[in-house]
A = this chain, B = another copy of it.
Amino acid sequence: MPAPDAWLDAVRRHVDAQLDEFFAASRVEMLGLAPEAMPIVEAVEALTLRGGKRLRPAVLVAAFSSVSASGDWRSTADACAALELLQTYLLIHDDWMDGDEQRRGGPSVHAALRDRVGDAHLGASLAVLAGDLASAFSQRLMVRASTAAKSPVQALEAFVRMQTEVVCGQSLDLLATTDVPRMQQLKTGSYTVAGPLRLGALLAGATPEQLGVLEAFGGPMGEAFQLRDDLLGTFGDPRTTGKPSGNDLRAGKRTALVLEAEQRLDADARAPLTRVLGLKEATDTQVAEAAALLVESGAKAGVERRLDMLVQQAVGALDTPLLHETGRAMLQTLVEALAVRDR
C-alpha cells in the first residue's frame, strides 16, 4: 500500500513536467519575438524550476479532489503551473524590495541580473520586468486552465483576488504595519492556502457549501503555516531550512514569537531580544541569547500551543460528508506538509 503522501510526489513530478513544457514553448516564442530578451525568460525559468516543494499545487489538487468525484487531478496541471509562476512573480519583486540576495539556494533574480549587466539599477529594472513577465505567463496558464474549469469566471476571479491580497500584504509589510497577523494572512496565507484551495475547488465546480468548508479548513491552516514558518525562521536547522539560523531576528521580522515575547516580558526583561531585532551584524552569541529568551519566556511554547490548536481546528473542519473521501485524505496529509514540516 502506498504511503498516504505518495500523491505529493506525483503532483510534484506532474507540475515539473508541465513547467518544463511551458518554458520550452516560451523560449521558442521568445526567439521569434525578442531574442535579446531571452535572459529575462531564463531568469524566470531558473527561479521557477529551482522551487522544489510545489506546495501550492498540492493544495489546489487536494481541494479539486475533495470536490470532484470523477475528475482527474491531472487536468489541473495548467492551474498548478500558473500558481508556481505567480509565486515566481511575487518572489522576484519581493526579493528586490527586501534586498534578499539569495533565494532557493541560488542568487535572487535582481542579484543575478545585476551581476550579469554590471549595474544595480539596470539589474533591478530587468528583475521587475522578469516579475512582470512571470505574471503574464501565469495569467496565460490560468486562462488556459479556465477552459477546463467547471466555474471558469469564478476561478479566474479567485486567481486575481490572490494577487490583490498579496500586494496589500506586502504593502503592509513595507509600511511596517502594527497589525502583523493581518499582514501575514494577506501576504502569505492568501496565496499559499486559501487561494489555491478556492481555485482548486472552483476548477471542480464547488458549491457554496463546499467552498465554506474549505474556507473553514484554510483559515486556520494558513495561520498555522505562518506560525511554523516563524518557528523555523528562528529555531529551524539551517541544514534543512536552507536559511541561516536567526535569519528572522536579524531581519527584524515582528513574528508571532516576537509578539508573544513582548506580551510576556517587560521592556527590561526583553532587552537581549530587542537589541538583536533588525541588527544585521548581530553576533551568533547575541542571536542565541535572544532565541534562549524566546524559549525561557514561554513564547515558543505559546506559539506551539496556538499552532496545535489551529491544526485541530482545521482538521475538525474536514469532518463533513460535503467533501469526497479521497480529497479529504489528501487535505489531511497536507496538514503535515504545511504545519508540521521541518523546512
Kindly report which residue of chain B lies nearest to residue A133, judged by CB atoms: B167
In the complex, are the beta carbons of B133 and A164 less than 8 A apart? yes
Q: Which residues of B contact A126 (CB under 8 A)?
A: 171, 174-175
Within 8 A of B (CB), among A18-49: 30, 33-34, 36-37, 40
In the complex, are the beta carbons of B33 and A125 less than 8 A apart? no
Q: Quick check: which of A136-144, A225-233, A307-315 contacts chain B, the rest being far away? A: A136-144
In the complex, are the beta carbons of A175 and B37 less than 8 A apart? yes
> CB within 8 A of A171: which of B37, B172, B175?
B37
In the complex, are the beta carbons of B128 and A93 less than 8 A apart? yes
How many residues does chain A have at the interface if contact means C-beta atoms less than 8 Å apart? Answer: 44
A170 lies within 8 A of chain B by Cβ: yes
Q: How far is the CA of A252 from the CA of B122 in the complex (A)?
A: 16
Q: Quick check: which of A60-68, A153-161, A197-205 contacts chain B, the rest being far away? A: A153-161
**Chain B's nearest CB lies how many Å from the CB of A266?**
28
Q: Which residues of B contact A37 (CB under 8 A)?
A: 167-168, 171-172, 175
A196 lies within 8 A of chain B by Cβ: no
In the complex, are the beta carbons of A175 and B140 less than 8 A apart? no
In the complex, are the beta carbons of A160 and B174 less than 8 A apart? no
In the complex, are the beta carbons of B171 and A34 less than 8 A apart? yes
